[in-house]
Amino acid sequence: MNNLLDVWRVRFGHYMGEIQKYMRYVFTGHLAIVIMFVLGAGGYKYSEWLKTASSDFPAIWLTGAIIGLVVGLSRPVTLIRKPDEVYLLPLETKLPLYFKKALKYTFSSQMILVLALYLVTWPMLRQVAGLKPSLIFVGLMAALLIKYWNVHSEFMYRWAYKGHYAWVDRLVRMIISGVLISSILSVQIIPIVVLVVILVVYPINWRNKMKELPFPYEHFVKLEENRMMGIYRFANYFTDVPHIHGSIKRRAWLDFLYGVIPYAKKKTQEYLVFRTFIRTDDHFYLWVRLTAIAALVAAFVHMPIVIGVIVGAMAFATAIQLKQALTSSNDFRMDMLFPLPDNSRQLASVKIVRYTIIVQGLIVGLAGIMTPYFYIQALIVWVVGEMTLRLSK
């Protein structure tokens, strides 16, 4: 018994160390500044909307839909590893003690998002829907209890069915949770009673079936590996993560873009570099992420100086990072066998990065089209990007 508690304690300590090690690179620098401005601008817009929102607006059902969606996403954090399929078999009867700790952490870590989103909807429920604070508080407590139910229900379903059609189970739980939250806030007694009965009965089949089946190590190992890989890939957008390597994807839906490069021998390097950019996750998602940040700032922040500084910073980061990434590849390529000029790869990379900067400027300009002088934002992207390409080595 104590051994399993020690196993969880050691793994949890290592897991938190990994999270802290990489997240300190994520939430510092330009992203933290952007998040601060976006949240501030979003909060201001939200408060202004509350002053003019109609009493007919479905605030209660919108709250139910948002909270139902969030509480339904309750993937368990088990920290199960591949060797456990062998080494934990003798202790399988004592696994409930381990999973009690795992589900407790899963709930406590995921309830933060539920709590934050519900607090965001609180002013809307108070001013638009006209609910009393006591009723809103009851809804909050119900949302946390429903989240607890979702965490345990998803775990039992995954054990009973090895994760097959888990999305169906999740969709059902989202609908039940959302309608129940809305019914509680609307004080509809009969739907509340019916849905509470469904909450009690729904996981009984999973609970009974999981008692008859051994723990599906393979499914939970894969689930945990995918979850950690998602964290590593997200952190890899901000710093190098040794656990992963840049993956390549076909992205057939972007094949039409290759027509931008003329079919000619002197354009060979441009074509190869462009395909590298489109198909390499690290390069492509770097551009997507920085462009999305700049577009969000242009759309929601209404301070011209702030917009100019941030979109300029994003253009600089895009140009310098993509240029270095596309020109510094040391991998062997077939084009190295051909008598091409030494600087052909670098010239082609600069041209492709210039194309990405042009598209980024257009997206930023369109995102801020509702603000005065939106074309200045696009111009800043183009000027900063071009200067970065010309002045950087």
Per-residue pLDDT of the chain (393 residues; tens, 9 = 90+): 457 888 899 999 999 998 888 777 766 655 666 677 777 777 887 888 888 888 888 889 999 999 999 999 999 999 998 888 888 877 777 888 899 999 999 999 999 999 999 999 999 999 888 889 999 999 999 999 999 999 999 999 999 988 888 899 999 999 999 999 999 999 999 999 999 999 999 888 888 888 888 889 999 999 998 888 888 877 766 666 666 655 777 788 888 888 888 887 778 888 888 888 888 877 888 899 889 988 888 888 777 777 888 888 889 888 888 888 888 665 555 555 566 666 777 888 889 999 999 999 999 989 888 777 778 888 999 999 999 888 877
Q: Is residue 360 within 8 Å of residue 297, measured between CB atoms?
A: no
Residue 202 DSSP SS3: coil
Residue 136 domain-assigned (yes or no): yes
Structural domain total, the chain: 2
- Are both 122 and 8 inside the same structural domain? yes
- Are both 285 and 224 inside the same structural domain? no
- Are both 50 and 108 inside the same structural domain? yes
Q: Is residue 191 within 8 Å of residue 183, measured between CB atoms?
A: yes
Residue 245 domain-assigned (yes or no): no
Residue 145 domain-assigned (yes or no): yes
Q: Is residue 179 within 8 Å of residue 191, measured between CB atoms?
A: yes
Report the pLDDT value the prediction gives residue 336, as an integer from 0 to 100: 59
Residue 121 domain-assigned (yes or no): yes
Tokens 């917009």 label which residue?
307
Residue 329 domain-assigned (yes or no): yes
What is the distance between the alpha carbons of residues 331 and 167, in angstroms, rounded to a whole number?
Answer: 40
Q: What is the DSSP letter of 393?
A: -
| Amino acid of residue 320 | I
- Are both 201 and 285 inside the same structural domain? no
Cα 238 to the center of its chain, rounded Å:
14
Residue 130 domain-assigned (yes or no): yes
Q: Domain boundary residue among 212, 236, 260?
A: 236
Q: What is the pTM of this model?
A: 0.70
- Are both 273 and 149 inside the same structural domain? no
* Residue 16 Cα distances to 8, 20, 21, 193, 380, angstroms: 12, 6, 8, 40, 40
Retrieve residue 190's tokens.
């009969």
Residue 241 domain-assigned (yes or no): no
- Are both 150 and 267 inside the same structural domain? no
- Are both 68 and 189 inside the same structural domain? yes
- Are both 207 and 335 inside the same structural domain? no
- Are both 18 and 165 inside the same structural domain? yes
| Residue of 27, 37, 34, 36 whose CA lies nearest to 235 | 27
Q: Domain boundary residue among 194, 209, 236?
A: 236
Report the pLDDT value the prediction gives residue 1, as an integer from 0 to 100: 46
- Are both 214 and 256 inside the same structural domain? no
- Are both 28 and 107 inside the same structural domain? yes
Residue 230 domain-assigned (yes or no): yes
Domain that holds residue 384: 252-391
Q: Domain boundary residue among 203, 236, 269?
A: 236
- Are both 212 and 282 inside the same structural domain? no
